[in-house]
Structure 1
């Protein structure tokens, strides 16, 4: 059957070959040749560049995802013609209620539209329906289209394309892009679910443990011996606090306390293995030569952050938060422990027990941070410490020589 095409369409086809070949070529690439590419942004860039070579005049492409991330509600991948890499932007929770989002073509798609399309040719300045449209018009874009990408169980994400071609996208351009949409959706869903799995694991077990689990360390007892500096921290009088204050206030206080101590740990290369109610367990692997110094620096920055937090609590007539930290160094068993069906990726061993007992000892000695002699000897730096003598620790053999930071503040108990 013959098809009558306009002069512009004939020109496009003459330059790029037949559309069936283009469809098959790009489709084959999406399905068969992207299997070794982990990142969605690279796929979007490569696909857009391929389509341009095939005569589809893409000037802009974007993908918009809803994410399962503790900080971000969503993310956008944006590519403009000429860019070697796409730009990735994250959006905080609450973005979906802002006027910028509500007055956008994305909201139309998330609200159920199967397609949103807008031509900008002949559009007067200031007459665009949305702020995004006005930006695109000013940038010389002539046509914009957005479609939903429907993942498993109707999880909804968005892809959009724009062109600066006079006359906008032709019907054949739109037809080709829509034909690629199912394959693009499948390829994208696989990568996004991999990202989500990694994100959820990092959120709940930490980056190093998540790498181990994703690499196959999922059987009970699997693990390794790791030399590490160990830090155990506990909040003082949390039981009384949770009894006396409303739930939401307690959660806010607890989150503020964890933020103050956790951010310096992660900043200086430590890994938080778990939050234990009002406590946390973190390690600094000795594979890094400055592990002990970094742990101490994290503690000092955490103390400063706790001072600021308590100043805020004082202004809000909330209770001051005290804490105890026990620090030791040694070999730990790092791996999977638990029942047949429910595992915990953690560390155990005598070195962990010493750190735990030192944290408990902070209550008796009224010093917020206690360090073992083993840690101090390995620290080997000029740090002002108080030697507090030797103390027997419950369940352990010989007494342990205990040190405290000279600049440490008194434990608020």
Structure 2
């Protein structure tokens, strides 16, 4: 068995002295959950009730792994009635010294509770050594019994009471953790759902989906500045470079583009191979001119970032990563399009087609950024008049503009 845990600790009956507090805690959780209280609001109340009516803990820590490309998990630490919120970056966390020498790893590896009395040397676990120096006498960490056991989820309790926990205290704390578990898991699944939607479809679009816009053919007509970008010579690069190198290059290129677009309030809707479709919506707060100005500012910022990236990698001439960006403004259909059980939340309409044709024209005119006349009129900036040009499959000729 694990250090400090009696053989039958998790199966013995709840002690009479702990039963009233646990029953009151269960009723409080039921009542508190009637309202959509976030975990940050629910957790402090849980900790206070445990400390005041069940076992005198002074520090309670909950750790919950999420599903986010940059964030590994969230943690709430309650101590002396103060609450601290932390997020951990995903990159490298599982190989970090902090994790490898933590009680969390022990619980992750064993899927069992771990108890450690803090009246002896605990230098093998730096966190426990720190708690010992702060006056803790005992420590219990237990995995939360989620339906999904594939990710980290735990509650830990540290106490300063003389002698630490007795066997009944351990049972009571384990029961309290089990009572809290379903409320924590509900919050985790909500966070995962929102994070995944934000990651794959963007913040504005994810909000529309969460609000119930999931019916095929359900679209809104909105006005937006439209961004369509495409990398030059991608097929050649794919043929002559290893696929891993191509993926790394795309991630770097897309990453720089996302920074530029999001900094100006735009939203990437779709990666199409090496192409990017993004919008800068017109809203009650952002008029047509401001949306176009933001799109152009993003294009200029991206050009600067692309040049810096090429210089950093020593890429010159035909080896340098180059691209074209078409910018237009107009009304578009924004919503669900696709098959009955496989929908795509996207934009379509003549305005999107024109942005695409402008991007195509950048190759002929040897310009990185081209804009339509409606875009020029709206953004209010002096631009270079490049004359009348034909856009493929679009009737008539169209005056095109570039950046000086």
Same fold (TM over 0.5): yes
Q: Give runs of aligned pairs for residues 243-322 of structure 1, distance below 5 A.
A: 243-287=239-283, 288-289=286-287, 290-314=290-314, 319-322=319-322
Secondary structure at the aligned position of 1:129 is classed as coil
Give, in whole Å, the separation in 1 of the partners of 2:188 and 2:318.
42
- Is the CA contact (8 Å cut-off) linking 2:227 and 2:327 kept in structure 1? yes
Structure 1 residue ranges (4+ consecutive) displaced by more than 6 angstroms after TM superposition? 315-318
- Is the CA contact (8 Å cut-off) linking 2:370 and 2:400 kept in structure 1? yes
Q: Kindly indicate whether residue 163 of structure 2 is the aligned counterpart of residue 173 of structure 1.
A: no
Give, in whole Å, the separation in 1 of the partners of 2:56 and 2:316.
58
Give, in whole Å, the separation in 2 of the partners of 1:29 and 1:223.
43
Q: By how many angstroms is 1:153 displaced?
A: 4.4
Q: Kindly indicate whether residue 197 of structure 2 is the aligned counterpart of residue 198 of structure 1.
A: no
Match of 1:114 among 107, 112, 129: 112
Q: By how many angstroms is 1:113 displaced?
A: 4.8
Partner of 2:8: none
Partner of 1:137: 132
Give, in whole Å, the separation in 2 of the partners of 1:301 and 1:139.
49
Per mean C-alpha deviation after superposition, the further-off stretch among 192-201 and 179-188 is 179-188
Distance of aligned partners of 1:359 and 1:38 in 2 relative to their CA distance in 1, 3 Å threshold: farther
Give, in whole Å, the separation in 2 of the partners of 1:60 and 1:376.
60
Structure 2 gaps, min length 5: 1-15
Give, in whole Å, the separation in 2 of the partners of 1:241 and 1:315.
13
Q: TM-score, normalised by structure 1?
A: 0.88
- Is the CA contact (8 Å cut-off) linking 1:334 and 1:347 kept in structure 2? yes
Q: CA RMSD in A?
A: 2.1
Partner of 2:12: none
Distance of aligned partners of 1:153 and 1:92 in 2 relative to their CA distance in 1, 3 Å threshold: closer
Distance of aligned partners of 1:79 and 1:254 in 2 relative to their CA distance in 1, 3 Å threshold: same
Distance of aligned partners of 1:352 and 1:316 in 2 relative to their CA distance in 1, 3 Å threshold: closer
Q: TM-score, normalised by structure 2?
A: 0.89
Q: By how many angstroms is 1:71 displaced?
A: 1.4
Q: By how many angstroms is 1:240 displaced?
A: 0.9
Q: Give runs of aligned pairs for residues 224-239 of structure 1, distance below 5 A.
A: 224-239=220-235
Partner of 2:68: 69
1:38-73 deviations in whole A, cap 9, x for unaligned?
Answer: 522322222112223325322222122222111123
Q: Kindly indicate whether residue 319 of structure 2 is the aligned counterpart of residue 323 of structure 1.
A: no
Partner of 1:410: none
Give, in whole Å, the separation in 2 of the partners of 1:317 and 1:189.
53
- Is the CA contact (8 Å cut-off) linking 2:18 and 2:54 kept in structure 1? no
Match of 1:391 among 368, 389, 392: 389
Give, in whole Å, the separation in 2 of the partners of 1:342 and 1:252.
28
Partner of 1:54: 53
Give, in whole Å, the separation in 1 of the partners of 2:189 and 2:230.
35
Give, in whole Å, the separation in 2 of the partners of 1:194 and 1:324.
38
Per mean C-alpha deviation after superposition, the further-off stretch among 31-40 and 269-278 is 31-40
Secondary structure at the aligned position of 1:154 is classed as coil
- Is the CA contact (8 Å cut-off) linking 1:37 and 1:43 kept in structure 2? no
Q: Kindly indicate whether residue 86 of structure 2 is the aligned counterpart of residue 91 of structure 1.
A: no
Secondary structure at the aligned position of 2:215 is classed as coil
Per mean C-alpha deviation after superposition, the further-off stretch among 96-105 and 366-375 is 96-105
Equivalenced residue count is 384
- Is the CA contact (8 Å cut-off) linking 1:75 and 1:91 kept in structure 2? no
Partner of 2:4: none
Q: Give runs of aligned pairs for residues 348-387 of structure 1, distance below 5 A.
A: 348-381=348-381, 383=382, 385-387=383-385
Distance of aligned partners of 1:71 and 1:317 in 2 relative to their CA distance in 1, 3 Å threshold: farther
Secondary structure at the aligned position of 2:144 is classed as strand
Give, in whole Å, the separation in 2 of the partners of 1:312 and 1:68.
32
Q: By how many angstroms is 1:32 displaced?
A: 4.0
Partner of 1:11: none
Distance of aligned partners of 1:40 and 1:396 in 2 relative to their CA distance in 1, 3 Å threshold: same
Distance of aligned partners of 1:105 and 1:333 in 2 relative to their CA distance in 1, 3 Å threshold: same
Give, in whole Å, the separation in 1 of the partners of 2:47 and 2:101.
27
- Is the CA contact (8 Å cut-off) linking 1:207 and 1:271 kept in structure 2? yes
Q: By how many angstroms is 1:169 displaced?
A: 3.5
Secondary structure at the aligned position of 1:144 is classed as strand
- Is the CA contact (8 Å cut-off) linking 2:336 and 2:346 kept in structure 1? yes
